[in-house]
């Protein structure tokens, strides 16, 4: 069937089977491989994208269900290579290791911060509890989301990267 998908501000015309999953349409038909597929059954959150601003599992939606909506994938967070404050904070706090869960974590956090610009650590944990990470232990992810929230509110300048670079550990800060 013919389908028009609006993704990251661009309209795409696709010919897909009705059973085509949104995740597969994004990855295989549009080449947007930043959306990761882990469990493919709604349990891990790696495939999270935004549908009209709300976080959804793209492995649990058919592509046709996204017609008429605005889909946002992780690729939209850094237009022209300029990192989103959340991405800067993840980098600065060493909140990713293999990075497999990271796109889902980022988009879940984008949704959270749009609804709640000043979440508590407990609220961040609650919101991210549906996203599984095998590497980080979550503490650094929570710290990164809280820091990004402060940066987005203007409460703290995005100076972590500069300070980290000056100290020589921007990408790999020392472990506690």
Q: Name which of 3 and 55 has its Cβ closer to ligand FES.
A: 55
Q: Name which of 14 and 135 has its Cβ closer to ligand FES.
A: 135
Token couple for 43: 């349990």
Token couple for 159: 């100076």
- Is position 135 an interface residue for ligand FES (rule: CB under 6 A)? yes
What's the angle, vertex CA 58, arms to CA 123 and CA 81, rounded to 5? 75
E strand or H helix that includes residue 144: helix 139-152
- Is position 47 an interface residue for ligand FES (rule: CB under 6 A)? yes
- Is position 33 an interface residue for ligand FES (rule: CB under 6 A)? no
How many residues of this chain interact with ligand FES, rule: CB under 6 A?
A: 23
Token couple for 167: 């100290």
Q: Helix and strand tally (H, E) in the chain?
A: 6, 5
| Mask for 55-74, x = binds ligand FES (CB under 6 A) | --x-x---------------
Token couple for 151: 């940066």
Cα–Cα distance, 134 to 92 (Å, whole number): 19
Q: Name which of 36 and 84 has its Cβ closer to ligand FES.
A: 36
- List, in sequence order, the alpha helices (H) in 10-138: 22-24, 85-92, 102-115, 121-128
Query: Which one among 71, 76, 86, 101 touches ligand FES, defined by CB under 6 A?
Result: 101
Query: Which one among 5, 49, 77, 96 touches ligand FES, defined by CB under 6 A?
Result: 96
E strand or H helix that includes residue 142: helix 139-152
- Is position 134 an interface residue for ligand FES (rule: CB under 6 A)? yes
- Is position 42 an interface residue for ligand FES (rule: CB under 6 A)? yes
Least Å distance between CB 136 and ligand FES?
5
Residues that bind ligand FES (CB under 6 A): 37-40, 42-47, 57, 59, 96-102, 133-136
């Amino acid at each position: 069937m013919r389908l028009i998908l609006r993704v990251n501000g661009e309209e795409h015309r696709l010919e897909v089977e009705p059973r085509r999953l949104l995740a597969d349409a994004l990855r295989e038909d549009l080449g947007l491989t930043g959306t990761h597929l882990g469990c493919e059954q709604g349990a891990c959150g790696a495939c999270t994208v935004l549908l009209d601003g709300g976080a959804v599992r793209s492995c649990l939606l058919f592509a046709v269900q996204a017609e008429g909506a605005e889909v946002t994938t992780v690729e939209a967070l850094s237009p022209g290579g300029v990192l989103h404050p959340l991405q800067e904070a993840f980098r600065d706090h060493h909140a990713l290791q293999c990075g497999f869960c990271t796109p889902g974590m980022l988009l879940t956090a984008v949704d959270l911060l749009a609804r709640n610009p000043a979440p508590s650590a407990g609220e961040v944990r609650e919101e991210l509890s549906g996203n599984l990470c095998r590497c980080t232990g979550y503490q650094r992810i929570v710290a990164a989301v809280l820091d990004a929230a402060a940066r987005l509110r203007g409460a703290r300048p995005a100076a972590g990267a500069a300070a980290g670079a000056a100290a020589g550990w921007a990408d790999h800060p020392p472990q506690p």
